[in-house]
Amino acid sequence: MTRPDRLLAWLVLIALFGVMIASFFMPREEVALPPPPPLAGQIDRIVIEKAARRMQLIQNGKPVRTYRIALGFAPEGDKERQGDGRTPEGEFTIDRRNAKSAFHLSLGLDYPQRTHRARAAEAGADPGGDIFIHGQPNALPEGFKLRGDWTAGCIAVTNAEMREIWKVTPVGTKVEIRP
């Protein structure tokens, strides 16, 4: 290979490397998908997968919506006590609806249950309570979404998603929270 050929090869490699670096830092265009059709009727069940940060609404045995969620600030493991930042795991039921909570709408879970109270008592701790599926803090502007896991143990979605969930989730809906 002659000297000019080597120089050309190096210039080509440098240009390719520059394109790779530039493409890494350039914003990616996201393809806007059409919105899903509105949900009709009530859902049967909610399944939350903590590790995947995913919540699904189940209707007639099939998932009809999937949402990205935020959890407690220390989400790994089952909730043991108040203040531990964990989101509880197990089978729960929506036992209350609060349209005037500090977060955009909220659906309360029947936590703590007898087993949670017993485990906390054995450790000399308070099991905590007030675990909800809710939107963003009301103090934030509409459309704003906090990043990462930030709740005290609840499950959070966007406000628009919470409005959709609220419409189809009655008291008595079963909720399964998986690790």
Contact at 8 Å (CB) between 120 and 81?
yes
Residues 59-87 have a mean pLDDT of 95
**pLDDT at residue number 35:** 80
Residue 4 lies in a domain: no
Domain residues for the domain of 88 are 45-178
Give tens-digit pLDDT for 90-140.
999 999 999 999 999 999 999 999 999 999 999 999 999 899 999 999 999
**Segment 8-36, tens digit of pLDDT:** 556 555 654 554 555 555 555 567 778 88
pLDDT-based confidence at 37, cuts 50/70/90?
Answer: confident
pLDDT at residue 171 above 90? yes
Contact of 109 with 93, CB cutoff 8 Å: yes
Residue 148 lies in a domain: yes
Domain count of the chain?
1
Residue 3 scores a pLDDT above 80: no
Strand 45-49 to 174-178 pairing: parallel
Nearest-angstrom CA–CA distance, 52 and 168 = 23
Given a cut of 70, whether residue 66 has pLDDT beyond it is: yes
pLDDT in the model for residue 19: 47
- For residue 142, the domain's CATH number is 2.40.440.10
Q: Beta strands of the chain (E only): which ranges? A: 45-49, 54-59, 62-68, 90-98, 106-109, 132-134, 155-156, 174-178
**Radius of gyration of the CA atoms of the chain, in A:** 23
Q: Per-residue pLDDT averaged across 68-87, rounded?
A: 94
Domain presence at residue 7: no
CA distance 24 to 106: 39
Answer yes or no: is 162 within a domain.
yes
